């Protein structure tokens, strides 16, 4: 019998880490301010008191160094969780990520695996301006050798970590920062989820809306607003950007014959472009209209609230893009 518990997204992530560390002594957390401060987003609050400084490790402000240390620990048999405060800081660790974490299995002929989990906050919408509002998970999805996850629901925040820690290869979890206070129900008996499959969050017949992470809520709202207009939208939550479950959204497009991709990344070179290309390559004859994309405006993220809202994908933009297809 399932037992439903209500919790926030940050509480779900904390519960997942607590469970992992209780069940496996090899699991530890390292990153900036994860210990005494409780994490920049309060995700690790209370874990230092429970597990001590050996397993909840505050690091210097040097992303390349502690990401590299996490790779070394994984090679040595540990199961490290590396928290990078926000996605823009992860650029300082790109050498370790691209040249080491992603390649060591292949460059060693399969002799070494890197069972590393890297968590980071991503996305805009919090008035943190141009240096702390990036959505770069599409960049990471370009890299073979790693998995890229974007939990959009409290349930996925709770259950994706266990599956990630069980994976022999590096897994990157992008947590949209606007989701941390969001509440949802979690089935405590569910257990680890399949981190390679997309989810149909709403069924429909007229258009397929494809999104992930922080844009899922806006997309579901758009689907609700479209229904009184006689447009029944199906909403696909990608959940994983690499490996990409194309089968789920292609099956949907084959039924609805229209597709709109909502992606908080910039439009040029966006992950939405990859989704659009796959639909054009594999389901072109099923389309009754060109694939539409709703992305962020091509500017460094503004600080002013009204300008930031104008720069990001919003519900009304999704509704407008869909209506233009009919």
- pLDDT, mean over the chain: 97
CB 17 within 8 A of CB 29: yes
CB 120 within 8 A of CB 84: yes
Long-range contacts at 17-26 (CB < 8 A, ≥ 24 apart)? 17/43, 17/44, 17/47, 17/81, 17/161, 18/47, 18/50, 19/162, 20/79, 20/81, 20/161, 20/162, 20/165, 21/47, 21/51, 21/55, 24/79, 24/165, 26/77, 26/78, 26/79
Alpha helices (H) along the chain: 9-23, 47-51, 63-75, 94-96, 104-107, 137-140, 154-165, 216-226, 246-256, 271-283, 305-311, 315-323
Burial label for 200, CB within 10 Å (0-12, 13-18, 19+), is middle
d(CA 173, CA 209): 22
Residue 3 is predicted with a pLDDT of 82
Query: Which residues, at least 6 apart from 142, have a Cβ–Cβ distance to it below 8 Å?
Result: none
106 has catalytic annotation: no
Residue 189 is predicted with a pLDDT of 87
Residues of the chain with pLDDT under 70: 1-2
Say which of 83, 132, 137, 175 is annotated catalytic.
Answer: 132
Q: Which fold has domain 199-323?
A: Rossmann fold (3.40.50)
257 has catalytic annotation: no
Burial label for 311, CB within 10 Å (0-12, 13-18, 19+), is buried
d(CA 44, CA 56): 9
Q: What residue ranges do the domains of the chain occupy?
A: 4-187, 199-323
Which CATH number is correct for 4-187, 1.10.10.10, 3.40.710.10, 3.40.50.970, 3.50.50.60? 3.40.50.970
Say which of 11, 63, 234, 308 is annotated catalytic.
Answer: 63
DSSP 203: -
- Domains 4-187 and 199-323 in one fold: yes
> Pseudo-torsion of CA 208, 211, 214, 217, nearest 10°?
10
């Amino acid at each position: 019998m399932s037992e439903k518990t209500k919790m926030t997204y940050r509480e779900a992530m904390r519960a997942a880490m607590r469970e992992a560390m209780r069940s496996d002594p090899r699991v530890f957390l390292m990153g900036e301010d994860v210990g005494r401060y409780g994490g920049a987003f309060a995700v690790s609050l209370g874990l230092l008191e429970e597990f001590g400084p050996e397993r909840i490790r505050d690091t210097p402000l040097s992303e390349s160094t502690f990401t590299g240390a996490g790779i070394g620990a994984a090679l040595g048999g540990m199961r490290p969780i590396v928290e990078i405060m926000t996605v823009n800081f992860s650029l300082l660790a790109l050498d370790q990520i691209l040249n080491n974490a992603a390649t060591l299995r292949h460059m060693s002929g399969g002799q070494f695996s890197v069972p590393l989990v890297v968590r980071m906050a991503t996305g805009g919408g919090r008035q943190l301006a141009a240096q702390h509002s990036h959505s770069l998970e599409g960049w990471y999805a370009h890299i073979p050798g790693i998995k890229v996850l974007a939990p959009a629901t409290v349930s996925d925040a709770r259950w994706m970590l266990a599956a990630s820690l069980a994976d022999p290869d590096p897994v990157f979890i992008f947590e949209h920062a606007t989701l941390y206070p969001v509440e949802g129900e979690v089935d405590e008996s569910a257990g680890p989820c399949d981190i390679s499959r997309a989810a149909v969050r709403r069924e429909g017949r007229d258009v397929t809306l494809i999104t992930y992470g922080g844009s899922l809520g806006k997309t579901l709202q758009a689907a609700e607003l479209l229904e009184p207009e006689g447009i029944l939208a199906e909403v696909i939550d990608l959940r994983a950007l690499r490996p990409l479950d194309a089968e789920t959204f292609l099956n949907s497009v084959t039924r609805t014959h229209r597709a709109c991709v909502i992606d908080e990344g910039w439009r040029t070179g966006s992950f939405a472009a990859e989704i659009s290309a796959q639909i054009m390559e594999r389901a072109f004859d099923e389309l009754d209209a060109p694939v539409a994309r709703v992305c962020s405006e091509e500017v460094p993220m503004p600080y002013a609230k009204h300008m930031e809202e104008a720069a990001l994908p919003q519900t009304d933009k999704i509704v407008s893009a869909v209506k233009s297809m009919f």
